Chain A
Amino acid sequence: MTRQSQRADAPFVAQCVRTDARVATTTANEVVNFYRRRQQLMDTDIEWVTAEHRAVSQAPTSGGVVHVLRDLDDDFQSGVPLGILAAAMSKQGQTVKDTLADVHDVRMDGSLWEPRSDHLRPV
């Protein structure tokens, strides 16, 4: 494919489970934005195709979002990008929607905080 949005050199690639439409970006958080834009237009979910980032490749393959967030936290001084966390959770079979729902739950119980928008740190 030659479409700019599907270039092979983009480190983060994800696709819509309902239509297979893909997004290929240089930042993991753009995948989250892609999910949110699509959610306004159709009830769907986004699954990861590739996420080429050292932190993601070294992230644990078990444990909940707080456990994974604690593991990633050392690599990101001003918060773990939500998209990086979502990509890391995909190693456990989670979609973007799954991870965002889990993040919402643990935010609401005070287990993590958001030092800036869409960047997370464990409490």
Chain B
Amino acid sequence: MVNGDVVYEAKTTRMTRWNQLNDDVEAVSSDITDETNALPAKYFTSSEIHELEKEKIFGRYWVYAGHANAITEPGAYFTRTVGDRQVIIVRGHDDEIRAFFNVCAHRGSKMVEDTPMTDPENMGRIRCPYHMWSYDLDGDLESTPQSFEEAGLNPDLSDDEVCGMDASENSLSEVETDRIGPFVFLNFAQDPMPLAEQAGTLKSELEAMPLGEYEHAARYVSEVECNWKTFAGNYSECDHCHANHQDWITDIELAESELEVNDYHWILHYTHDEDVEDEMRIHDEHEAKFYYFWPNFTVNMYGTADGYGTYIIDPIDEGRFQLIADYYFSDEEMTDAEQEFVQTSRQLQEEDFELVERQYEGLKSGALAQAQLGPNEHTVHRLHRLAQEAYEA
């Protein structure tokens, strides 16, 4: 059997790894035809793994922060929380977008209130309300109150013993940012791999499309009771579509569709039954293209709408996640057709939520020690392999 450059040998039949029969789980095999081709169930249900992922996954890889169009003016900002970390994403006077921990350099206070990307605010400087330390939009310390320059309340110090505060030495803690078109990404690692390396061909492919010309039109946030990887796996395959998305697949030629796997992203190409007018797509190909970018971001090029969507699959804990679904069209006021389109997309989401919550109920029961993937679930296999690589890193 040949899949890309990898040559697989035909295997004997595989056996389900139930806990009561065989709780001997193994790491995810690089060979999808192996019996142990999926993450063991505990990686979906363990609170320790959830804590581990905050560092090993969300602290190491590029994570989507938000859309650059949300902050077009200097001083415009929003906040983004990833795990236990919250950052301020702000556009500077030089038009650059930067990210800083929402933590004051003085004594660690949270500085600005939670500010969603969909309702950004604007500030001339970043100010901590605790002792009024102020920073410019580059993160450099701009001013401290007079009480930090003299020691009037301390009988053991004279004013001239007070050392001044150097602006650049007391700046905010900056978080690495980079962009793919209008999409702003964060990386919390000290020396991260470049975004271009993690994104691979995804970067050039997305940047070839005029994504920045579209406006944010709608956001839906859903809390779903399953591990984030459960939903990520569901998004990444369409073997379940025929039985569970019957309205949607009436216009899709599933047999002609293709799932393309790359290092850190995979693309689901869904061929439409009938040709769709070019005006109803952003991309050239006559298909819907759903991009999954590890670890938890998707770009949904629908193929039947002059617009696109994004998903953020943010874990809350090991058993819950938030799906943050954003929709972008030529105008922030949606047409009736666009609203109908979003409703169809929401229907798909709700159908998937039912599926993944059912799957997670089963996984939580502890009956299954290690699932197994089919040959057309190679995108899910990639997801599981990346998770395992991250845990082992």
Contacts and interface: CB of A to CB of B under 8 A. Distances in A.
A4 B360 CA distance: 10
A41 B118 contact: yes
Contact of A40 (B79, B354, B361): B79
B322 A41 contact: yes
A37 B373 CA distance: 34
Most chain A CB neighbours (cut-off 10 Å) among B224, B353, B361: B353
B223 A34 contact: yes
A23 B322 CA distance: 12
A3 B355 CA distance: 9
A5 interface: yes
Contact of B114 (A21, A23, A39): A39
Contact of B223 (A37, A39, A43): A37
A36 B316 CA distance: 12
B223 A42 contact: no
A21 B220 CA distance: 8
Nearest to B324: A41
Given A3-B357, A37-B322, A19 B116 contact: no
Contacts of B225: 3-5
Contacts of B224: 3, 5
Interface size class of B (residues with CB under 8 A): 20 to 34
A116 interface: no
Interface string A1-45: 011110000000000100101010000000000101111111100
Contacts of A2: 354
Nearest to B113: A39
A41 B219 contact: yes
A42 B119 contact: yes
Contact of B116 (A16, A21, A34, A40): A40
Interface in B64-82: 79, 81
Contacts of B220: 19, 21
Interface of A: 2-5, 16, 19, 21, 23, 34, 36-43
Q: Which 6 A-B residue pairings sit nearest by Cβ, starting from the closest? A: A43-B119, A4-B225, A40-B114, A41-B221, A4-B357, A42-B116
Interface of B: 79, 81, 114, 116-119, 219-225, 316, 322, 324, 350, 353-354, 357, 361
